[in-house]
Amino acid sequence: MSKFKKKSESSQDIPTAALPDIIFMLLFFFMVTTVLRETELKVEQRIPRAEQLVKLEKKKLVTYLYVGAPKDKSLGTESRVQANDAFIGIDGIVNWVSQEKSKLSENERDQITISMKVDEETKMGIIVDIQTELREANARKIMYAAPTKAKDN
Amino acid sequence: MARSKDKGSQEVNAGSMADIAFLLLIFFLVTTQIATNKGLTLLLPPKQEDDEPIEIKQQERNLFKIQINSADRLLVEEEPLEDVTQIREMVYDFVLNFGAPSDKKKGKAEVSDRDVYESLPGSMRGYINRNLGSSESSDGPGAAIISLKADRGSSYDIFISILDELNAAYNKIYGERVGLTDEEFRKLNRNDPRQKELYDRARSGIPKAISIAEPSTVGG
């Protein structure tokens, strides 16, 4: 005679065996889609939004320049240019571009795109200087990175 | 018959694992950004050789001048402008003016302004015939140049909004030419041959001639 337990099972009816799988799937999803930040941003970055954005074609051919006021206030409030973890001066841009170009293969070199992430408070003076230096270094394809602006109408 | 002790191994209160999963998900959604590699593209002019001063004199009418002073106020074609979003329409009308379309073949694709006019869809040609064609505006899309001159003290913010408007005007022209909206045109994937063909056809003969002029250092 089996005694039936009067007390019903406590309410753990949700089959919980699948939950670790869900967590792993989420983890892999985020590992794949988000980008671990390679360079530590040393400048303020509130980038203005824009509508007419074009996606980058080849991620390999892109290199980033960050422009903005330094996060460390002791370095002043004037906008600085950061490339690959360190501040570079305007005159260092040409050398930096040739360094980046040398990381690519010969025929890809002239397709290098410089993506500039500029803080909204930056003044145009430094931007124009950077553009002049990029022209000197023959890196003519540039892109002003921006998040999408929601269309008002 | 005693049940084996398997039931006991699920002692971990797994009901809260779902909560943990949701918390982690929300945390990541809020903190990380799916890498945005989108932006406004621009092709800079080639290096300025010292021995070749910029002699190319453009007629006034072929040049659409936009000037920004250090207080972020705009002067468009020598007239002050308050609303940045009007630039879109003004540039559209400027580029498609066809004031004096020439037969001279220009550019890599070897098309003349007249060829470009012939290639436009009827709706665009109708609009041009009704509203444009002024002899005071550009001769044709091959000759039309937008000149953007910022003061060194102008903010990057306004520069981006103007560049956005200029790109919007060009994308609208390109899109309309091949029957797409400007958004659809922007999303064309140039790696797909059919989409690339559309893209090239839309752009042929109408170069995106945006020239960023040397800034003045005098404020205002």
- On chain B, the residues whose CB falls within 8 A of the CB of A144 are 39-40, 42, 160, 163
Contacts of A100 (CB under 8 A, 6+ apart): A63, A112
Burial state string for B193-213 with b = 16 or more CB within 10 A and e = fewer than 16: eeeeebbeebbbbbbbbbebe
ipTM: 0.74
Contact between A30 and B157 using a beta-carbon 8 Å cutoff: no
Instruction: For residue B187, count other CB atoms closer than 10 A to its CB.
Output: 13
Asked if B83 has any chain A CB less than 8 Å from its own CB, the reply is no
Q: Are B122 and B73 in contact (CB under 8 A)?
A: no
Q: What's the mean pLDDT in A47-61? A: 82
CB of B100 less than 8 A from some CB of A: no
Mean pLDDT of A86-109: 86
Residues of chain B with pLDDT under 50: 220
Place of tokens 């950004």: B33
Q: With CB atoms and an 8 Å threshold, state whether B15 touches A12.
A: yes
Spatial contact of A61 and A142, defined as CB atoms under 8 Å apart: no
* pTM for this predicted structure: 0.76
Phi–psi pair at B52, nearest 5 degrees: -120, 85
Distance separating alpha carbons of residues B80 and B66, to the nearest angstrom = 10
Select the residue of A34, A135, A141 nearest B47 (Cβ to Cβ): A135
Pairing assessment for the beta strands A54-55 and B38-43 based on DSSP bridges: antiparallel
A153 band by pLDDT with thresholds 50, 70 and 90:
very low
| CA angle in degrees (0–180, nearest 5) for A50-A55-A56 | 125
Please tell me which of the candidates B10, B21, B39 has its beta carbon nearest to residue A143.
B39
Question: What residue of A is the nearest CA neighbor of B32?
Answer: A34
d(CA A143, CA A137) in angstroms, rounded, equals: 16
Regarding predicted confidence, which is higher, A82 or A77? A82
* Cα–Cα nearest to A125, from B156, B123, B160, B148: B156
* CA A131 – CA A140 distance, rounded (Å): 9
B15 touches chain A (CB under 8 A): yes
pLDDT of residue A62: 85
A36 touches chain B (CB under 8 A): no
Hey, of A29, A37, A124, A143, which one would you mutate to test binding to chain B, going by the most B CBs within 10 A of its CB?
A124
pLDDT band at A73 (very low <50, low <70, confident <90, very high): confident
pLDDT at A31 over 80: no
**pLDDT value, residue B216:** 66
Is the pLDDT at A93 greater than 70? The verdict is yes
Binding-face residues of A in 64-123 toward B, CB within 8 A: 113, 115, 118-123
Residue B46: CB partners within 8 Å, gap ≥ 6?
Answer: A135, A138, A140
Chain B: closest CA distance from residue A57 (Å): 8
- What distance in Å separates the CA atoms of residue B111 and residue B88, rounded to the nearest whole number? 25
Cα(B76)–Cα(B165) distance, integer angstroms? 13
